[in-house]
Chain A
Amino acid sequence: GQNIDQPTEMTATEGAIVQINCTYQTSGFNGLFWYQQHAGEAPTFLSYNVLDGLEEKGRFSSFLSRSKGYSYLLLKELQMKDSASYLCAVMDSNYQLIWGAGTKLIIKP
């Protein structure tokens, strides 16, 4: 079966750095996506990785290792507004997104 694993919840301090991990087992791979979802709102796109390595976009970076079935999202200089759920999703061989259950990130002052 297809599976995306990520931690259920993480806590970090304002101004710090946090890394959210995602491991996956899917039938085929056509890219990995990270989305942010604030409580009661829609998911919004953060990043896309299809090749191994690090993609940096401002305070957010995303890393991919296809051989290990592993990705992480790195958030730097955490702000209170970063409190949200972070969703990892993999596009499988049918070009459908398989979603993880999300990681709820709690930022403390």
Chain B
Amino acid sequence: IAGITQAPTSQILAAGRRMTLRCTQDMRHNAMYWYRQDLGLGLRLIHYSNTAGTTGKGEVPDGYSVSRANTDDFPLTLASAVPSQTSVYFCASSAGQENIQYFGAGTRLSVL
């Protein structure tokens, strides 16, 4: 693989269920991010990690958690899904002085 891989591509989930969205990168980027994208709104940052072992909260962190055990993986967990978490979720990574972010293909999540 080259770049960022997200899984699953799409998922329909019953409210109250636990779900982990997976994100793996092979570019050895230090920083990784999780965004959600909703119609009519800009990308909103959920959580980020500047380097392995550290994480931080973004603009909309409630209901989500992340971990960064190593450089490559940055999973996002919804502990108990709610319908308002229906969205497209993008994982991204960045490196270098300009901090250009590169995105995975996204996960389309529907919570019913």
Contact flags (1/0) for A31-44 with B, using CB distance below 8 Å? 10100000001111
* Contact between A43 and B90, CB atoms less than 8 A apart: yes
Q: A48-B98, A96-B58 are in contact. Are A42 and B106 (CB under 8 A)?
A: yes
For residue A101, which residues in chain B have a CB less than 8 angstroms away from its CB? 40-42
Closest to A88 in B: B42
User: Within residues 68 to 105 of chain B, which ones have a CB less than 8 A from any CB in chain A?
Assistant: 90, 98-105
Picked from A31, A87, A96, the residue with its CB within 8 Å of the CB of B98 is A31
* Range, interface on chain B: 10 to 19
User: Within residues 1 to 55 of chain A, which ones have a CB less than 8 A from any CB in chain B?
Assistant: 4, 30-31, 33, 41-45, 48, 50
A-B contact count (CB 8 A): 44
Picked from B40, B100, B105, the residue with its CB within 8 Å of the CB of A45 is B100
Q: How far, in whole Å, are A101 and B37 apart by their CA atoms in the complex? A: 9
Q: How far, in whole Å, are A95 and B44 apart by their CA atoms in the complex? A: 14
For residue B103, which residues in chain A have a CB less than 8 angstroms away from its CB? 42-44
Picked from A4, A30, A42, the residue with its CB within 8 Å of the CB of B42 is A4
Contact flags (1/0) for A52-69 with B, using CB distance below 8 Å? 000000000000000000
A99 adjacent to chain B (CB < 8 Å): yes
Listed in ascending order, the chain B residues whose CB lies under 8 Å from chain A are: 40-45, 48, 58, 90, 98-106
| Among all A-B residue pairs, the 5 with the closest Cβ atoms | A99-B42, A42-B103, A99-B43, A101-B42, A43-B103
Given A42-B90, A43-B103; 20 other pairs, CB 8 A cutoff:
A31-B99, A33-B100, A41-B106, A42-B105, A42-B106, A43-B90, A45-B101, A48-B100, A87-B43, A89-B42, A91-B99, A95-B99, A96-B45, A96-B58, A97-B43, A97-B101, A99-B43, A99-B44, A101-B40, A102-B42
Q: Would you list 6 pairs from A and B whose C-beta atoms are within 8 A, ordered by A residue? A: A31-B98, A33-B101, A50-B98, A96-B48, A97-B43, A101-B42
